[in-house]
Each structure stands twice: as C-alpha cells, then as structure tokens.
Amino acid sequence: MNTSVNNTNTSTQSPHTIPKRLKWRPSMFCAAAVFALSLALVLNIKNPLTLKPNFILNLRRLILIARRQPQTEYISGRPPCVLWMAPFLSPGGYSSEAWSYITALHDHAGDRFKLQIDHHGDLQSIEFWLGLPEESQRLAYDLHGTQCSSKETIVVCHSEPGAWYPPLFETSPCPPDGYEDPVFVVGRTMFETDRLNPEHVARCNRMDAVWVPTEFHVSSFLRSGVDPAKVIKVVQPVDVEFFDPAKHEPLALPLGSPVLGSNSSNLGRHEFVFLSVFKWEHRKGWDVLLKAYLEEFSKADGVALYLLTNAYHSDNDFASEIKVFVEMSKLKEPSDGWAPIYLLDAHIPQSDLPRIYKAADAFVLPSRGEGWGRPIVEAMAMAMPVITTNWSGPTEYLTEENAYPLPVDRMSELKEGPFRGHLRAEPSAEQLKVLMRHVVNNPEEGRRKGRKARSDMIERFSPQIVARIVVDHIMNIVNNSSERTR
C-alpha cells in the first residue's frame, strides 16, 4: 500500500491553518478505546498471562487515536475535505465496503482532497479491529487524525438511513451536527428488498445526493419515491490485489471435524470443496443451501461444504441449528452417510480470508437478496466459479460467462419486522442442485468462468477504477459549490 500520499496529521501544520477553539466531537474511536480498555482489564484480572503483547500495543494505539483531537482547523478550505463516516470498527457489509473505498481513495485519489474518517452506524468490535491487517489499522489512525473544518467539508454518511442525523438508534450521528454546516452531504446506502420504506425515503431525500451501488438500487429507490435528481450509481471496489489467487497458499483442509457427516475416508483423493460465506440469517438462504446440498450429495460423492459464518448481532449455536434443521426438514440420510458439512465460525482474521477462498473449488450463496454481495465479488476476484442468486445487487456483475446465475422460483413477501410487505427472491433449490452437480462434473468450465470473473472484477471494480469514479463525483460537488459561493 502506498502510504506516502496525503498524510495530513497533526505533525504537519501548514501556514494556511490557524488555531481555533478546540471543539470536542465525541468519537466512536474513543468509545472503542474505552471498550478495549475495559475488556483488557477483565482479561487481565482473569488471566494476566494470556494477554498478548500485540493486543496491548493495539490498545495503546487505539487510545492514542481516541485522544488525538483536532487542535487546529483549516479555514482556507483548500484542499477540500471529505469526511467519510461508516461502521469502520464493525464486521459486516457496510464496513468492508467503506474500508474498500477509503483504501482506494488513499492510494489513488492523489491530493485532490483531504480525507477524514470516523466510526458511525454500528456497534464497534475490538475483535474485528484486531483481525484487520496492520496497514489498515495504520491507515485508520492517519485518516482519523485528518483535520477539517465542518464548514468546508463534504460528508459521506455510509450506513443505513436509520443511522443518519437524527439517528433512530444509538450511534454517533452523521452528519455529526446536522445538515447546516457541511458543504454537501452524501448518503451512501443500499437495500436488499425490492423497495424502501417511507421513513428511509424521507431520510434519503434530506441528503444532497444518494449514492447506491447498482442499477437495481437506482430503480428500486426511484420506484419508492427518492428524488431522481439525487440518486447516483457508484459501484464499489473489490481489492483485486489482496484477493489475488496467485498471492496466497490455500488453507489446509479439513479444519476440525464436520458438524454433519464425517471426515473423508478416502484420504489422498481430492475432495471437491464448496464454500459459502455469510452472516447467519434467513435472508442468506442457508436453508436452501443445506437442503440442496444434502439432497443432491452423499459421502460417496467426495464433496464437502464449508460454511464461514458469524453471529453478528446474534449468538447462535450454528452446529445445533444445522442438526435441528436437518431433523425438521425430514431430510433422509443417504445409505453411505451425509456429505460432510464443516463450520468455520471461529473468527477468522480478515487477513486469512483469501486462503480460505483459495482452498475451495466453488463458491455458493443462494441468497434471497443482497445489497452488493462482498463475499461474492471476493470469490470472483479469487477466480472461483460462483453460484449465486440472479436477483438484486449481484445482477450488477453476474453474467452467464463469469458465473452460474441461480434462477429465482418466485418472489416472497416479508411477513414481519420493519420491512413487512417488501418482496425478496426465493432462489430455486432444484436449480441449485443441478448447478452444484454441474460444477463438480465440469471443473474445467468452472475454472474458465473463474478466470473471466477475475478479469471482469479487475476491469470494472478495481480500486483505481472506482477511486476515479468517486473522485469525479467529489470534484463535481466541489466545482458546483465553489460556483455557488463565488
């Protein structure tokens, strides 16, 4: 990573800055440090010997950034400043998307504008932070320390609209002090159903612009009533340098014992490994995946299914959920035994992700709706054949040439929760069986699609390409606003 670009921290005070009254802005980075500190104390008391030196080091740094409050503010407004607020310290889709943007902008935007980041929109997780590559952590310290005057700032609120000012739940608001001060406020969001609810539409329309990742969202947002003049498609980057199959050794499998079925007995023979990566929720279609896989395959097929999943906002016991599901759905165990299912629910650090993709032969995710589908594009960048539902966000990049688009049986209505009445797709379990069997039987075709997938990712979503798109939009805003004030 290029770290020489645009390092605007406290040590380099330009003559264009003058000291101003110190303004305390409660920062979630600070909350994270406090959280980490209390965590450390608890661990320390219980078991002082297991506290890794690395952890202490990280903790010190975290506290350091929390303390680094701006002491000066730019008044000249040159170069302009972009404050990007997102759930940087949480696992999940918005977080990895936000990381991909700020990394791309840091590496490729040159010095067109200053970039500042702050945490917003979700609970922070020290475990997630510690799993980040060190260079990402360093980037976060630097960018969090960038100083901007709020009157010269373009704010990007990258989260679900419920987190925007004034937030509907407890989170640091974005923009931090409402809509008056910033030059321009962008809401970056997406949705996984066919529409937005009226509250979210109203929140989108309060923004100066709404950036969405795909054509699917442009049409669903407009259909729901968001001002067409404000909705702009801005695709998201995938780190094709990091997710590069040439750069990683596969993780050695099996990892532990299967939660269903048994370890392959025919040692030496290569198992065909399916991988799925998702947050454990109904939307991700894990029920469809288990049903199709267990009905289609048995132990004799020499296949395995690895599920990399996390609880996110719940703390489920996935192994028992899987066993209960198998019992409830009355699936019959084949005479030679279940095809094995393995769980990778230990928190795998982000830095090991490519090795997991590399260890698998195909990626499968029969989701009912996706905003973008980070794991899908990561698998595609890793040149894997991908089977995933042909609906919502992924239609932006899925083709017959670069993947196996999974047909939809029908649309289904959400029956409860805040999005009651919205529609999502029901992927076809029967077609999923056909496609999974097909990739096992046609490995050469799968590899060909995988190569095409990687080249499509590089061409359309590499950090350089997407950084240019974002910089163009920002410069457009800067141009317009300077005309306005002149």
Ligand X SMILES: *[C@@H]1O[C@H](CO)[C@@H](O)[C@H](O)[C@H]1NC(C)=O
- CB 429 to ligand X: min, Å: 15
Beta strands in 366-441 (DSSP E): 386-389, 404-406, 408-413, 423-427
In angstroms, the CA 476 to CA 221 distance is: 22
Residue type, 380: M
In angstroms, the CA 35 to CA 123 distance is: 11
Q: Which is nearer to ligand X, 23 or 151 (CB)?
A: 151
Q: Is 407 in the site for ligand X (CB under 6 A)?
A: yes
- CB 413 to ligand X: min, Å: 20
Neighbouring CB atoms inside 10 A of 173's CB total 17
User: Of the listed pieces 101-109, 421-429, 434-442, 469-477, which binds ligand X according to CB under 6 A?
Assistant: 469-477
User: Of the listed pieces 37-45, 65-73, 373-381, 400-408, which binds ligand X according to CB under 6 A?
Assistant: 400-408
**H/E run at residue 342:** strand 341-343
Neighbouring CB atoms inside 10 A of 407's CB total 15
In angstroms, the CA 417 to CA 421 distance is: 9
Q: Which is nearer to ligand X, 43 or 255 (CB)?
A: 255
Cis peptide bond prior to 175, omega within 30° of 0: yes
Q: Is 3 in the site for ligand X (CB under 6 A)?
A: no
H helix runs in 212-365, sequence order: 215-224, 286-296, 318-328, 353-359
- CB 366 to ligand X: min, Å: 13
Q: Which is nearer to ligand X, 225 or 254 (CB)?
A: 254
In angstroms, the CA 34 to CA 32 distance is: 5
* Six token digits for residue 385: 């054949």
Return the ∠ at Cα 13 (arms to 12 and 17), rounded to 5°.
155
User: Of the listed pieces 18-26, 270-278, 350-358, 475-483, which binds ligand X according to CB under 6 A?
Assistant: 475-483
Please identify which residue in 70, 176, 371, 405 interacts with ligand X, judged by CB under 6 A.
405
In angstroms, the CA 309 to CA 53 distance is: 28
Q: Which is nearer to ligand X, 40 or 434 (CB)?
A: 434
**What residues does 308 pair with on adjacent strands?**
277
* Six token digits for residue 481: 């606003």
In angstroms, the CA 93 to CA 114 distance is: 25
- CB 398 to ligand X: min, Å: 7
Q: Is 320 in the site for ligand X (CB under 6 A)?
A: no
Comparing CA positions, the residue from 297, 307, 311 lying closest to residue 264 is 297
- CB 234 to ligand X: min, Å: 12
**Could you say which residues in the range 246-265 bind ligand X, by CB under 6 A?**
254, 256-257, 262-263
Q: Is 329 in the site for ligand X (CB under 6 A)?
A: no
Q: Is 480 in the site for ligand X (CB under 6 A)?
A: yes
Q: Which is nearer to ligand X, 58 or 402 (CB)?
A: 402
Please identify which residue in 69, 72, 395, 455 interacts with ligand X, judged by CB under 6 A.
395
- CB 50 to ligand X: min, Å: 23
* Helix and strand totals (H; E) in the chain: 14, 16
- The β-bridge relationship of strands 341-343 and 362-365 is unpaired
Q: Is 79 in the site for ligand X (CB under 6 A)?
A: no
In angstroms, the CA 225 to CA 203 distance is: 11
Residue with tokens 């030059």: 183
* Whether the Cβ atoms of residue 371 and residue 393 lie closer than 8 Å to each other: yes
Cis peptide bond prior to 79, omega within 30° of 0: yes
Neighbouring CB atoms inside 10 A of 244's CB total 16
Q: Is 227 in the site for ligand X (CB under 6 A)?
A: no
Q: Is 475 in the site for ligand X (CB under 6 A)?
A: yes
Q: Which is nearer to ligand X, 139 or 478 (CB)?
A: 478
User: Of the listed pieces 59-67, 80-88, 293-301, 468-476, which binds ligand X according to CB under 6 A?
Assistant: 468-476
3-state secondary structure (DSSP) of residue 449: helix
- Interface map 413-452 toward ligand X (x if CB under 6 A): ----------------------------------------
- CB 391 to ligand X: min, Å: 7
- Interface map 171-210 toward ligand X (x if CB under 6 A): --------------------------------------x-
User: Of the listed pieces 70-78, 117-125, 165-173, 472-480, which binds ligand X according to CB under 6 A?
Assistant: 472-480
Q: Which is nearer to ligand X, 144 or 299 (CB)?
A: 299
Q: Is 476 in the site for ligand X (CB under 6 A)?
A: yes
Binding site for ligand X (CB under 6 A): 209, 254, 256-257, 262-263, 390, 395, 400, 405, 407, 472, 475-477, 479-480
